[in-house]
Amino acid sequence: MTDTPLKRGLPPLHPGALLREDILPSLGISVSSFASHLRVSRQMLHRILSEEAPVTPAMALRLGKLCGNGPELWLNLQARYDLDRYGRELAKELDEIPTLNAA
């Protein structure tokens, strides 16, 4: 596999890690209160915070509204994380797939 921007520097961050480590502490808000504001269960939010569940488009809309930064940030974080993770998991298989070029 070739060296891509996703392979340089620090690995991409799961959106849950950003929420857990930066957003919630800076807001001084509990997981229960944050979940309540998002109109989701505490369990659902906990799964994202523990990096067990992805940020879906619906959750990105909720997070973008609550945090005031729009859904794109959350979807982009999740996409980068997923591409890096699956790229590493599938590296050998991907190396065996040819790249076709149009004539």
Q: Which residues of 46-84 are buried (b: 16+ CB within 10 A; e: fewer)?
A: bebbeeebbbeeebbebbbeebeeebebbbebbebbeeb
Q: Write the DSSP assignment of 5-27 as a string of letters.
A: GGGSSSPPPPHHHHIIIIIHHHH
Please report where in the chains the tokens 């050998």 appear, as a residue. Answer: 92
The predicted pLDDT at position 7 comes to 54
Residue-wise pLDDT for 30-79, tens only, equals 999 999 999 999 999 999 999 999 999 999 999 999 999 999 999 999 99
List domains and CATH numbers for the chain.
15-95 (1.10.260.40)
Instruction: Please give the model's pTM, rounded to 2 decimal places.
Output: 0.84
The letter for the amino acid at 15 is P
